[in-house]
Chain A
Amino acid sequence: MHPAYSVIFFTTASGAGYGLLCLIAGAILFDAVPRSTSFGLVVFALALGLVTAGLLSSTAHLGRPERAWRAFSQWRTSWLSREGVMAVITYVPAGLLALSWSFGGGGDSATALERVLAVLAILGSLVTLYCTGMIYASLKTIRHWHLGIVPINYIIFGVMTGAIAFLFLLNLFGVAGEGYVWVTSLLIAVGLVAKFLYWTKVDAAPPVSTAGNATGLGHLGKVRPFEAAHARRNFVMREMGYTVARKHVARLRNIVFLLAFGLPLLGVLLGLVGGTIAALFGSFFALVTAAVGIFVERWLFFAEAEHVVTTYYGAEAA
């Protein structure tokens, strides 16, 4: 599948945004962070900013962005529509929580309303992330995506990158505790395992279809293209026929392991061994590498995905 940068940026940024939202909401829910207007503003602004930037970026992928509002209508069947609806809904508890927690005054302990809003914001974020994942996982045409683990991974990577961002902000404001380091490290480890599992599954998954099946002529022998239907690549080829060489895949997977998980873990763990400056830089380093790493992961998620339609265009199987 053609990796569209607007979509990659969207899922990476809004994933981190929703993750961050989950973390701050969770921290509020469990009174694990001291109430602070400035911290609140910064965290919520970053979270909602990432979400919003991602959503806006996704409209760049549209042929007719001025009609994007129509996408909220088909939530009964369409995961894309559901994602849009959930994204909008999630703004409500998230926004109210942001306002209440940042400006509502009161003690460190969250109010009952804030707790309710926090739960709703977490649920909204997780469901939105799930919807995003399901956009891909619902496609029977792409075996790399049509897996139960895909939406889980979207959630895990969102929360993981959000957690790293949260840790960085905590460090920035000097309010990070060792617990956060452990939680973040745990999330990174979970992410690593999740990605490893994903690739294991993908590599083991049999092709959905073959050229023989696609044409229904496989019983007559091996089906090979003789003359293409058109001289140059058409939309279907450009969109669905993107391929990346196997050796590049292996290298890129290693890069993902390193950038998205390995280095961030090191950066985060620096908070345990070094001082506050080290922790700050470590978490910043973790954030940057994870962002790049997840961006590559998302690129590879597209680039590796084989669409069955390619079997009409010379792929033996997909």
Chain B
Amino acid sequence: MEPRIDRSPEVADEIKTTTCYMCACRCGIRVFLKDGQVRYIEGNRDHPVNKGVLCGKGSAGIMQHYAPSRLTAPLKRVGERGSGDYEEISWDEALALATDWLGTTRSKDPSRLAFFTGRDQSQSLTGWWASQFGTPNFAAHGGFCSVNMAAAGLYTFGGSFWEFGEPDWDRTEYFLLFGVAEDHASNPIKMGLGKLKERGVKVTAINPVRSGYGAIADEWVGIKPGTDGLFVAALIHELFEMRAIDLDYLVRYTNAPWLVIQSQGSADDGLFARDEEGNPLVHDTSTDALASGLLADVKPSLSGEFELADGRRAVPVFQLLAERFGSGAYAPDRVAAQTGLEADVIRRIARELAEAAFEKEVVLDIPWTDWAGRRHEKMIGRPVSMHAMRGISAHSNGFNTCRLIHLLQIILGSIDCPGGFRYKPPFPKAIPPHLKPAGKLGSVQPDTPLAGAPLGFVEGPEDLLVDEAGDPLRIDKAYSWDAPVAAHGLMHMVLNNAAKQDPYGLDVLFMYMANMSWNSSMNVQGVLDYLTAKDDNGDYKIPKIIYSDAYFSEMVPYADLILPDTTYLERWDCISLLDRPISEPDGPADSIRQPVVKPDRDVRPFQDVLIDLGGRLGLPGFTNEDGSAKYPGGYPDYIVNHERTPGVGPLAGWRGEDGSQYGKGAVNPDQLERYIENGCFNTHHLPDGQRFFKHANADYLEWAKSVGFIGSTEPIVFQLYSEPLQKFRLAAQGHGDIQPPDHHRRRIDMFFDPLPFWYAPFEGAMLEDGDYPLHAITQRPMHMYHSWGSQNAWLRQITAQNKLFMNREMAKELEIRDDDWVWIYSHIGRVKAQVALMEGVNSSTVWTWNAIGKRKGAWALDDDAPEATRGFLLNHLISELLPERDGGYRYSNSDPITGQAAWYDLRVRIEKADGDTADESLPRFEPLRRPNAPVTPDTLTFGSQFREGAQ
């Protein structure tokens, strides 16, 4: 007799939908609740992001939610910074203290507050709060994440990868994946790869390391870090050679035919020739005359030199492009050695791209109307698609490399066509989006909101945030000559600059969810010094630090006031189209989080606290005219009732009093209810005729304007040649009112090339090759995200120690074997780590899993946890500044255009740690102490309560 088993046990008392926060992917989840506890979390089948699946992180959410590292009450520092001496205080006291510090600062000089949020998913609120406060010093973590990616895309074709667009997984015939992508856009890419595998589509992975997605790729191209741009340029060269270029597409949708003034030494050299209305000019072959390039009925030339009305000469962008890429400079044979690839491989991949694009054309029988009102019966696409993320982005040449990738996509005619790379609304946007950074000289005033948003897109030197001397106005030097196109700010430079009081000192540093004293910083020891640096009076150089986090991270002990946040299952949130959207190519989407369980600790959601503080400080956006708080109900109140512009609020769905409107409409008091009824998200499905060619699709543009995504129905013309960049170059060459200080001129002139190009990453180029012959890079394991994974009792069972992965052949030369301990030297220090050998890594590259190494005492782990004793960070080796050279100005270790932290530029040397035989990683820091630290259990039997309950 088989035992009788209950095949249909009750699995939940209640199932609540909400949005995952185990990474930045923001999947829809269904949380099973039993006896008031979280029993199970699964993906929501209806949700646009994950369509039911859930990754390894999301499925371990329970352990995150119940982690002993959770903070339990507000804390006030009573000892020295870093000492861990705190006292628990009440929320009343905490908020009064914060209000006092912030209010004083605001009345004196709002820019002496720096408000930086890390893994923030409420940037439309936090940014708005900063601007209401009046400080330009706001950004999230994009500056050390992927601003190169976002900026290059938005300055080239009005979109980008990930949240901005994705491959047409159902139709693409070739997929090129650049760099590490495993830890972001986690589920959509996995689901997409699954589809490609099912259809037998070739996947090519360009990555120095073969792991994760690369493992299932048909071809792994183990390129040298930082040379992807060279590889892409060689592909472009080959496509020019093969004439595998979609000229029709270039003429229709790009500025390829626009004429560029050729007048060396003039103030408008290299700018577009324009007519009196400011329209860019082309040469119309049908009339052999100049005409506005925006007209529909021109037949523009792509090459030739044409005379302008003033007698000067101008050439089409295409000609400049062809001269750059058609010549031999980027020929595969020329780039092979530098990229570490065989020229034949590059040539073959170019052929495969051409074959997929031009011989596997995708035709959909969907009529549509283009921007000029012309009806097309079919949608015809070139089914080649690509994806890139931080592997491209986190290099000092990342902006240009990413521009090269987009150029490759565009010359193949594969942007927003069937089978190609598709925008996710609200993208495409104008190139660049019409939103300039606020905080210009003289505009920051006491007790006054900022005139606009702190972050935006500069179109020329006139938009920079610099003073008369050309020095930065922002604490992170964003939008200065250091990093003119710093669209996401430079969070990685804030502590450095603030402690050095360069460009000025701060009164209050306010941070949220950013582990800046550990794995989110370059040069950890330096950052710890900055956090604890004191002036001659014995006062901290960064006088006040307020920090909000849900967990006892390495950052917590360095703050003066800690505002404990909730876990993601205890909070309201809003994934807004005003922020980083979760849309699909077939329509925009947004979503909410709702609290599915109540906090059992004295913690509050950070956004509630921020709104509360806004009211207490009397910030205009957060108070009524009588001075009372505008959103007494906290974040949910704000989500429903806040209007950024009339009719446009944080959520686009179910607007209007009866909930019948989308995008624009009056406040709907039942909006959150409607979201919850729908599974905590809203998707708007575009009609078939609007699904592709959105940049030039009349119906789409019309609709997008009506809901406020874009400001005009003009087609969005891809900027292969970027005029804003040329404007900066002209300034560096001595033109215009706003010019860089002399020490910046050479750099701006060199790197602000209006056409994309490749240059060697800075750190490697500045160091003697022989001293640091190896590249060192990192990636996060797919099942972990940032530092969060290690406090998770389940996830850390999968990875609790990181090793330094080396190529087996290379290790043989160095006489290094598996599990040996080695010293990794960079130009600023050394780290001791244990080695693991592998085949699938470029032979001049070493790598490791990021953010596994932990400081003792953090994250509620025991002091002898492998994360602390054997794990390590490469962050100790990455300088936040470029190597010193001849005593000149030291730039940050960043992309010269966007300021993106170039932490993948790291160069190292490996030596066997023969003298040091202890089985432990170095450097070691004093263990952190936590007040009222919880006693962590020796054994977990989570789930036994549900079984007992069932019996």
Contact = CB atoms under 8 A, between A and B. Distances in A.
Contact of B801 (A224, A226, A229, A231): A231
Contacts of B838: 226
B799 interface: yes
Nearest to B781: A227
Nearest to A222: B839
B800 interface: yes
B796 interface: yes
A248 interface: no
B919 to A, nearest CB: 14
B841 to A, nearest CB: 10
Interface SS of chain B:
loop
Contacts of A224: 839
A232 interface: yes
Contacts of B796: 231
Interface residues of B, number: 11
Contacts of A227: 211
Contact of B800 (A226, A229, A231): A231
Nearest to A221: B839
A226 B211 CA distance: 9
Contacts of A231: 796-801, 866
Interface string A226-239: 11011110000000
Nearest to A226: B838
Contacts of B866: 231-232
Nearest to B215: A226
Interface in A21-70: none
Contact of A232 (B211, B800, B840): B800
Chain B CB within 10 A, most for which of A224, A227, A231: A231
Interface string B198-219: 0000000000000100000000
Contacts of B840: 226
Nearest to A231: B800
Contacts of B839: 224
Contacts of B799: 231
A138 to B, nearest CB: 23
Interface residues of A, number: 7
Contacts of B211: 226-227
Contacts of A230: 797-798
Contacts of A226: 211, 838, 840
Interface string B789-818: 000000011111100000000000000000
Nearest to A224: B839
Interface in A89-132: none
B809 to A, nearest CB: 14
A226 B841 CA distance: 12
A229 B211 CA distance: 14
Contacts of A229: 798
A226 B781 CA distance: 13
Interface in A210-228: 224, 226-227
Nearest to A232: B800
A231 B800 CA distance: 5
A4 to B, nearest CB: 21
Nearest to B837: A224
Interface in B855-889: 866
Interface string A124-156: 000000000000000000000000000000000
Interface in B645-681: none
Interface string B738-760: 00000000000000000000000
A227 B211 CA distance: 10
B888 to A, nearest CB: 44
A218 to B, nearest CB: 16
A229 B801 CA distance: 13
B655 to A, nearest CB: 48
A245 to B, nearest CB: 16
Nearest to B798: A230
Interface string B832-848: 00000011100000000
A224 B839 CA distance: 10
A1 to B, nearest CB: 23
A229 B797 CA distance: 9
A227 B215 CA distance: 12
A97 to B, nearest CB: 38
A272 to B, nearest CB: 55
Contacts of B798: 229-231
A231 B211 CA distance: 17
A224 B836 CA distance: 12
A231 B794 CA distance: 11
Chain B CB within 10 A, most for which of A224, A227, A229, A230: A227
A230 B838 CA distance: 18
Nearest to B849: A227
Interface in B818-839: 838-839
A128 B866 CA distance: 46
A227 B210 CA distance: 12
A82 B801 CA distance: 45
Contacts of B800: 231-232
A231 B797 CA distance: 5
A226 B212 CA distance: 11
Interface string B459-474: 0000000000000000
A115 to B, nearest CB: 42
Interface in B765-801: 796-801
A229 B799 CA distance: 9
Nearest to B867: A231
A235 to B, nearest CB: 12
Interface in B623-661: none
A229 B838 CA distance: 16
A252 B838 CA distance: 35
A224 B796 CA distance: 23
Contacts of A232: 797, 800, 866
A230 B800 CA distance: 8
A231 B784 CA distance: 13
A229 B56 CA distance: 13
Nearest to A314: B818
Interface string B252-265: 00000000000000
Interface in B489-539: none
Interface of A: 224, 226-227, 229-232
5 contacts: A224-B839, A226-B838, A226-B840, A231-B866, A232-B800
Given A226-B211, A231-B800, 5 more contacts: A229-B798, A230-B797, A231-B796, A231-B797, A231-B801
* Interface pairs A-B: 8 shortest CB-CB: A231-B800, A230-B797, A231-B799, A230-B798, A226-B838, A231-B797, A231-B801, A231-B798
